[in-house]
Amino acid sequence: MAAKIVRVATRLGLARFDMKYSAGTLPHENLMRCIELYGMEVAPLVRRNLAELAG
């Protein structure tokens, strides 16, 4: 997921990326875990990769 976000942000020249969560039939506990993982693992990796590309 992080690689895809970096690729899209770079190609489109984005300065900001907002994740939209869709609960659908996903139990609340699972949704909260997904948000936690995004914040703790994916977002920092995206920031780090974008910073490296920016030089």
Please indicate whether residue 54 or residue 22 has the higher confidence score (pLDDT): 54
Q: CB-based contacts of 1: which residues, under 8 Å, 6+ apart?
A: 42
The separation between the first and the last C-alpha atoms of the chain, rounded to the nearest angstrom, is: 22
For residue 38, what pLDDT is reported?
Answer: 93
26: three-class secondary structure by DSSP: coil
pLDDT, one tens digit per residue, over 32-52 is 999 999 999 999 999 999 999
Confidence of residue 10 (pLDDT cuts 50, 70, 90): very high
Confidence of residue 24 (pLDDT cuts 50, 70, 90): confident
Q: What gap in Å lies between CA 43 and CA 2, rounded to an integer? A: 7
Domain boundaries, the chain: 2-54
Q: What gap in Å lies between CA 23 and CA 30, rounded to an integer? A: 9
Neighbours of 13 (CB within 10 A): 6
